[in-house]
């Protein structure tokens, strides 16, 4: 039981979460590669069949236009979007360039979602612009050359709402970190900070009004 006659000292302050809005403009094409629900279902079906799935299988004709559609993130409102986490991850990654502890940034930076993915509920921010089909060759882990079809936005912009802990960052800090994320990290396929390559120059951006 608490002794109500004793005073208590509060040493933990309430979080000061502030929201800043930015309009970011693509400085290079943005390419998206969502893992499609169709591919996920095919993998699950194969796993459910167990050893019987190892026999010869009939390969269906490939629908490249459908591959392109399946690679998009579409929200419950029917609009194309980018996972909100892509920007959060990019800003956290950019902390390495300025000596700020990434684990602290994980607790201090968040992105407001505009909608949620129609298939798996991933938070999305609206992606504005017209897309086109991009056909690119790649080499699988087995060494076999394959064709990957992806949606590409040559010109694009996003209205981004960044929530941050004002006890950790100032508005200038957040702006500069977002700028670094746009120039040095990027988002989507072929970005400069790609995990599997040095990137293709895709997915870079800037804050409107900064150069």
This prediction has a pTM of 0.82
Any domain includes 7: no
* Phi, psi for residue 188 in degrees, rounded to 5: 80, -170
Chain segment 96-117, per-residue pLDDT in tens: 999 999 999 999 999 999 999 9
Any domain includes 167: yes
Any domain includes 202: yes
Chain segment 65-96, per-residue pLDDT in tens: 898 999 999 999 999 999 999 999 999 999 99
What is the domain range of residue 87?
A: 17-33+63-207
Any domain includes 48: no
Any domain includes 102: yes
Any domain includes 1: no
- Cα distance from N-terminal residue to C-terminal residue, the chain: 60
Any domain includes 55: no
Any domain includes 142: yes
Domain count, the chain: 1
Task: Please say if the pLDDT value at position 211 is more than 50.
Answer: no
Q: For residues 41 and 55, give the distance between their C-alpha atoms in angstroms, rounded to a whole number.
A: 19
Residue 45: pLDDT band with limits 50, 70, 90? low
């Amino acid at each position: 039981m608490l002794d109500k006659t004793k005073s208590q000292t509060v040493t933990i302050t309430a979080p000061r979460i502030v929201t800043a809005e930015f309009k970011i403009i693509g400085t290079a094409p943005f390419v998206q590669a969502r893992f499609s629900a169709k591919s996920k279902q095919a993998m699950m079906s194969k796993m459910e069949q167990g050893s019987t799935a190892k026999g010869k299988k009939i390969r269906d004709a490939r629908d490249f236009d459908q591959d392109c559609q399946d690679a998009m993130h579409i929200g419950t409102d029917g609009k194309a979007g980018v996972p909100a986490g892509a920007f959060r991850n990019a800003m956290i990654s950019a902390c390495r360039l300025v000596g700020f502890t990434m684990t602290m940034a994980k607790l201090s930076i968040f992105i407001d979602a505009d909608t949620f993915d129609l298939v798996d509920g991933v938070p999305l921010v609206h992606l504005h612009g017209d897309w086109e089909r991009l056909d690119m060759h790649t080499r699988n882990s087995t060494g076999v050359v394959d064709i990957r079809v992806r949606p590409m936005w040559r010109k694009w912009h996003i209205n981004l709402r960044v929530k941050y802990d004002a006890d950790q960052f100032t508005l200038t800090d957040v702006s500069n970190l977002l700028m670094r994320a746009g120039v040095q990290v990027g988002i989507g396929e072929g970005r400069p900070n790609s995990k599997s390559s040095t990137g293709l120059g895709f997915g870079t951006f800037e804050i409107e009004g900064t150069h």
